[in-house]
Amino acid sequence: MSQNYTIALLPGDGIGPEVIKEAVKVLGSLERGLELKLTLNEVPVGGAAYEVDRHPLPPETLKTAQEADAVLLGAVGGPKWEKIDFSLRPERALLGLRSNLKLYANLRPAKIFPALVDASSLKRELVDGLDIMVIRELTGGIYFGEPRGVELLADGTRRGFNTLVYTEEEIKRIARVAFDVARKRNKKVMSVDKANVLEVTGLWREVVSEVHEEYKDVVLEHMYVDNCAMQLVRAPKQFDVIVTTNMFGDILSDEASMLTGSIGMLPSASIGGNTAMYEPIHGSAPDIAGMGLANPLATILSVGMMFKYSFGLEEVNAKIESAVEAVLDQGVRTRDIMSNKMTEVSTQEMGDKVVAELEK
Ligand code: NAD
């Protein structure tokens, strides 16, 4: 019996539509090759939606996302919308999607493909074989805590403030995601906090340790965030799964991803609610939009994560990763990952090469 999945496609702005087009080719190939029926519902988001509806996340887009089995997003934003009111900027659509879909866990793998080891800014021996998963809490912490703002003091100077807050429940659920993911990997979790200074992350450490009682087959360790930032560039292969708060995760996941060389290679998943969202970690790259220079592999690998985490088809993710690896091994490169003696291809040609590998 064939399985039916509905995917909401949100191409967005800049290179978003270009990379999504290649991901759609991959989806088409998978549908032909496997017993699958995929329904793709494309809706505008970000600046593209603002142009039509004067809102970056129109109700129809949100509804299509909520009703889908999974969401695939390209990227949002661009210079054209930098001057409009903050609440209507394209990037606000991301926050709207995350909160409405209740996506409290962001999974960002930082995995290096053997053919790209020399593209890393670190020495070959430090990154060869690197495979880390950073799990960032996405809907709580200092980015959402109240009170927040900037106030005028009696002496005429200003004071800015934000609040770092986590409930026990918020910590428990992200810890469970981390332990569950670790069980399918190398069974090691590093929980990152600043428990020596911040009471709330002292609670984080305590609650993660309590949840660990249910996952004794997984090794749990704790690390302060400043040390973790250092260890990621000193000896990154010591990590398997890193779990941390929203702001620490924002910073550490960018640091970890750059160990692998290119922003155009890295996928992500945001999970927690009924519908998960998958997207490349890069933005809309206005500097190269429309030029056929965008690397579509991060988006194609995001499709792989969708099959693994939303549809439970881990073998499809493995198939996509192998196809990408094979294409890279052939020396095929988009400009961002180009090096000597390799063949430069366009966004579209890279998509075609991956499809050809999938169909071999
Ligand atoms: P960016 O990720 O768009 O680009 C950074 C650099 O990486 C640029 O030089 C770009 O050309 C290059 N790059 C990015 N993706 C690439 C790809 N797939 N292939 C080849 N090269 C690639 O970040 P930015 O320039 O800081 O932001 C541009 C816009 O994107 C801004 O409006 C920003 O707000 C938005 N943004 C959106 C998201 C998102 O939609 N999730 C994330 C980050 C930034």
CATH of the domain at 325: 3.40.718.10
pLDDT band of 2, cuts 50, 70, 90: low
Same domain, 253 and 274: no
Is residue 201 within 6 Å of ligand 1 at its C-beta?
Answer: no
Same domain, 98 and 169: no
Same domain, 277 and 254: no
Residue with tokens 């996941």: 253
174/245 Cα distance (integer angstroms): 9
Q: Does residue 118 fall inside a structural domain?
A: no
Residue nearest to atom 20 of ligand 1 (CA): 294
270/309 Cα distance (integer angstroms): 10
Q: Is 118 a catalytic residue?
A: no
Q: Is 194 a catalytic residue?
A: yes
* In the chain, % of residues over pLDDT 70: 99
Is residue 294 within 6 Å of ligand 1 at its C-beta?
Answer: yes
Is residue 282 within 6 Å of ligand 1 at its C-beta?
Answer: yes
Same domain, 269 and 254: no
pTM for this predicted structure: 0.93
Q: Does residue 117 fall inside a structural domain?
A: no
Q: Does residue 228 fall inside a structural domain?
A: yes
Greatest Cα-to-Cα distance within the chain, rounded to the nearest angstrom: 72
Encode pLDDT of 210-253 as tens digits: 999 999 999 999 999 999 999 999 999 999 999 999 999 999 99
Domain count along the chain:
2
Which residues, including other chains, have CB under 8 Å from residue 202's CB and lie 6 or more apart?
A: 193, 195
Q: What is the pLDDT of residue 260?
A: 87
Same domain, 171 and 221: yes
Compute the average pLDDT of residues 300-323. Answer: 96
Q: Is 226 a catalytic residue?
A: yes
Same domain, 251 and 351: no
Compute the average pLDDT of residues 325-331. Answer: 95
Kindly state the tokens that stand for 157. Answer: 């100077």
CB 231 within 8 A of CB 222: no
The catalytically annotated residue of 13, 69, 240, 250 is 250
Encode pLDDT of 237-295 as tens digits: 999 999 999 999 999 998 998 898 778 999 999 999 999 999 999 999 999 999 999 99
Which one of 207, 241, 258 terminates a domain?
258
Among 284, 302, 324, residue to substitute to test ligand 1 (most atoms within 8 Å of Cβ) = 284
Encode pLDDT of 81-123 as tens digits: 999 998 899 999 998 999 999 999 999 999 999 999 988 889 9
* In the chain, % of residues over pLDDT 90: 90
Same domain, 353 and 309: yes
Compute the average pLDDT of residues 2-25. Answer: 96
The catalytically annotated residue of 104, 193, 194, 336 is 194
Kindly state the tokens that stand for 177. Answer: 């995601």
Which residues, including other chains, have CB under 8 Å from residue 253's CB and lie 6 or more apart?
A: 106, 108, 110, 134, 136, 281
Same domain, 195 and 313: no
**79 CA closest ligand 1 atom index:** 32
Is residue 344 within 6 Å of ligand 1 at its C-beta?
Answer: no
Question: What mean pLDDT value characterizes the chain?
Answer: 95
**78 CA closest ligand 1 atom index:** 32
Same domain, 253 and 293: no
Same domain, 225 and 145: yes
Is residue 250 within 6 Å of ligand 1 at its C-beta?
Answer: no
Compute the average pLDDT of residues 156-166. Answer: 98
Quote the domain boundaries for residue 224: 131-258
Is residue 285 within 6 Å of ligand 1 at its C-beta?
Answer: yes
Q: Is 250 a catalytic residue?
A: yes
Same domain, 197 and 162: yes
More confident residue, 134 or 86: 134
**How far is ligand 1, taken at its centre, from the CA of residue 28, in Å?**
26
Say whether pLDDT at 174 is over 70.
Answer: yes
**How far is ligand 1, taken at its centre, from the CA of residue 75, in Å?**
8
Least confident of 62-76, 161-175, 339-353: 339-353
Same domain, 16 and 72: yes
295/15 Cα distance (integer angstroms): 9
Q: E strands along 226-354, which residues?
A: 241-244, 267-271, 276-280, 332-333, 343-344
Q: Does residue 210 fall inside a structural domain?
A: yes
**How far is ligand 1, taken at its centre, from the CA of residue 148, in Å?**
28
Bridge partners (DSSP) of residue 190 are: 221, 242
Q: Tell me the pairing of strands 267-271 and 105-111.
A: antiparallel
